[in-house]
Amino acid sequence: MSEQETSSATGHSQRPAIAWRNPPLLFELSREGRLGVELPPVGVAESALEELLPESVRRTDLAGLPEVSEVDVIRHFIRLSRRNYTPELSLYPLGSCTMKYNPRLNEEVVRLPGFANSHPLQPISTVQGNLELFWALEQALIQLTGLSRVSLSPAAGAQGEFVGMLMVRAALDKRGEGRRYVLIPDSAHGTNPASAAFAGYQVKELLSNEHGTLDLEDLERAMTEEVAALMLTVPNTLGVFEDQILEIARIVHSKGGLLYCDGANFNAFIGKVRPGDMGVDVLHMNLHKTFTTPHGGGGPGSGPVAVGEELVPFLPAPLVNSGADGFTLDFDRPDSIGRVRSFHGQFGMLVRALAYIVGMGGEGLAKIAENAVLNANYLRKGLEGSYHLPYTTPTLHEVVFTDKRQTASGVTTLDIAKRLMDYGFHPPTIYFPINVSGALMIEPTETAAKEDLDSFVEAMCSIAIEAEEAPELVQGAPYTTPVRRCDEALAARKPVLRWHPPEAADS
C-alpha cells in the first residue's frame, strides 16, 4: 500500500489516513438534537392534533431519520462528491451515452422563477411563456428530424421507445392490421426489446453481418406482413451508419411495416441528414445525450418522440398548438394513445435542451456531429495499433474495440476498464454491444479536447503494453480509486438494500 511505502524509518507514516475520505452514512452521522432547517411559525390559530387527525391514522414515529445540521449535510455531500469521477476532469467515454459537456448557462436559465415556480395545473393564460417554449422546442426538433410533429411528454428515452411502439400499434390497429412481431438487430440497446415487449409485441432478433450492419437479404426474409416494425438504432451501437438505410426503409414499408429509429445516437448525424428523409416513421431522442441535459448520475432523462404524418393522430395528449389567441394545450385527440405520465413532460429538461439548441444555432448543431465523428475517428486511429478492431467499416461517433489481443496474457476488458481508472479516466462502456465479445465501446463526443484524446490514447497504449509485460498489474487494478474492486456477487447473494440501526442489524 502507498501508505506503507511512504512510511519513514521511524515507523510514522508520511501519509496518515484522512478520516473524511471515508464518509459514514448520513444515518450514522446522526446526533440527538441536531437540526438542519429553520421553519417559519405556523402563524394561525392552532387546533389540537387529535382533533385534526385521529391517532389511528397517524404514524407512531420517525425512528431512524438522521439528526444533522446544515453544516454536516453540506460536508457530507462534498466529501461524497470526491468519491465520484466527473466528465469535467477528462474523458468519460461511455459508448452510446454521449457524455458531453453540459453548458452551465442552461442550469442558470432553468432556475429562473417564472419557470421553476410555474405549476402544471395553472390556467394556460398564465403559462404562455412555458407553452411558447414547448412550441419553439418542438419546431426546432421538427427541423432537425424532418418529421411532422413531436411529443415532449416521455420522461426518458426508454419511455419514448414505449410511446413510439404504442403509436405503431395504434396506427396498425387503425388500419385493421393485427401484426405480432417487431424486428430488432442483435446490436440494439436492451431497452428496445423490453419496450417492444411492453407494447405487447414478440421480438425477433436480426443478426448483423461482417460489416456490423443489417443484412438486406435477412431483412427481406424476416420482413413479412406479420411484422409491425423494425426498430433500428442509427448509427448502430458499433458506431456504424446503416449505409443501406434508404433500401431498409423501402423493404420495411413495402410490407406495410413501420420504421422505428432509436435516436440514442442522433449526436452522430444531427444536422447532416434527417431521419424523416431516411424514411423513418417514428424516432425518439434522448435530450440528455444529444441535447446536453445533465445525466445527473442516471437521470432525469427526457425522451421526446418525433413522428411522420401517419402517426400524428396517435401522439400522447396533450400537444401544444399555436393560434391567434396564443398557445393552447390540445387534449382533444380521439386517436391518441393517451397519457404516459403526469402533467406535461420533463419541463426542466426541455428548458435546458432549447437553451442548448439556440446556444448552438443551426450551423453549430451541424458542427456537433462533425467534431464527434472527427474525435471518434482520431481515437480509432490512435488505438488500432494496440487493440483489436472487430469491424473495420467506417465509424461515426463511437468505435468498438475488443480485448482479443490481450486475452492471451489473461487480461480482459474488465481489467482494462479498471486500469484506465488509475490513469485518471472513466472507462468506456464494456461488454456491449452483446454481439461483440469483450467489447470496449468508446464515444469521446465532440466536447473532448484533442489533448485529452491524446492522453487517453497514451493511457490505453500503456495498458496494452502492461497487459503483455505485467498482466497481473492490470488484473489487480484499480489501485488509486476510493474503493477497489467490489464484491458484486456478495451484493446480489445477500442483498443489503438499506441502512439498519445497529440493534436491528444484530437480530
Partner 1 sequence: MAKMPDPDRGFGHRYLPTGTEDRREMLEAIGAPSVEALFSTLPEEILLREPLPIEGPLSDQELRGYFGRLQAANQVAGRDLISFLGGGAYRHETPAAIDSVTTRSEYLTVYTPYQPEVSQGTLQTIFEFQTFISILTGLPVANASLYEGASAFAEAILMACRVQRKRSKIIVARSIHPHYRQTLATYATNLDLDVVEVGWDESGRVDLEALERELGSDTVCIALQSPNYFGVVEPWDRLSAPAKAAGALTIGVVTEALSLALLQSPGEGGCDIAVGDAHSFGLSVSFGGPLLGFMAVKDAFKRSIPGRLVGQTVDQDGQRAFVLTLATREQHIRREKATSNICTNQALCALAATVYLALHGPQGLADLAQLNLQRTASLRRRIGEFPGFSSRFSQPCFNEFAVRASSPAGGVIAQLEAAGILAGVPLGPDYPELEDTFLVAVTECNPPEELDRLVEELGAL
Minimum CB–partner distance for residue 128 and partner 1 (Å): 5
Give the largest CA-CA distance in the chain: 86
Minimum CB–partner distance for residue 8 and partner 1 (Å): 23
Minimum CB–partner distance for residue 451 and partner 1 (Å): 9
Q: Tell me which residue of 475, 455, 474, 478 sits closest to 465, measured CA to CA.
A: 474
Nearer to partner 1, 207 or 491 (CB): 491
Minimum CB–partner distance for residue 191 and partner 1 (Å): 5
β-partners of residue 181 are 202, 227
Question: Please, are residues 337 and 316 in contact by the beta-carbon 8 Å criterion?
Answer: yes
Nearer to partner 1, 217 or 363 (CB): 363
Cell of 168: 405503431
Question: Please, are residues 471 and 459 in contact by the beta-carbon 8 Å criterion?
Answer: no
Helix (H) or strand (E) holding 2: helix 2-5
Minimum CB–partner distance for residue 10 and partner 1 (Å): 25
Cell of 15: 501519509
β-partners of residue 329 are 320
Q: What letters, b where the CB count within 10 A reaches 16 and e where it falls short, cover 205-234? A: ebebeeebbbbbeebeebbeeebbbbbbbb
Minimum CB–partner distance for residue 30 and partner 1 (Å): 8
Q: Count CB atoms within 10 A of the CB of residue 427.
A: 21
Return d(Cα 116, Cα 119) in angstroms, integer: 8
Q: Count CB atoms within 10 A of the CB of residue 167.
A: 28
Distance between terminal CA atoms of the chain?
36
Nearer to partner 1, 78 or 465 (CB): 78
Minimum CB–partner distance for residue 49 and partner 1 (Å): 7
Nearer to partner 1, 10 or 60 (CB): 60
Nearer to partner 1, 300 or 468 (CB): 300
Question: Please, are residues 302 and 293 in contact by the beta-carbon 8 Å criterion?
Answer: yes
Q: Count CB atoms within 10 A of the CB of residue 308.
A: 20
Minimum CB–partner distance for residue 137 and partner 1 (Å): 11
Nearer to partner 1, 161 or 403 (CB): 161
Minimum CB–partner distance for residue 373 and partner 1 (Å): 5
Nearer to partner 1, 127 or 214 (CB): 127
- Residue indicated by cell numbers 482479443: 404
Identify residue 324 by its one-letter amino acid code. A
Name the DSSP class of 182: E
Nearer to partner 1, 406 or 447 (CB): 447
Q: Residue 129, CB half-sphere, CA atoms under 13 Å: how many?
A: 11
Nearer to partner 1, 8 or 342 (CB): 342
Q: Count CB atoms within 10 A of the CB of residue 404.
A: 15
Return d(Cα 237, Cα 228) in angstroms, integer: 23
Please classify residue 348 by burial: count the beta carbons closer than 10 Å to its beta carbon, then call 0-12 exposed, 13-18 middle and 19+ buried: middle
Minimum CB–partner distance for residue 132 and partner 1 (Å): 6
- Residue 437 makes CB contacts below 8 A (sequence gap 6+) with 402, 404
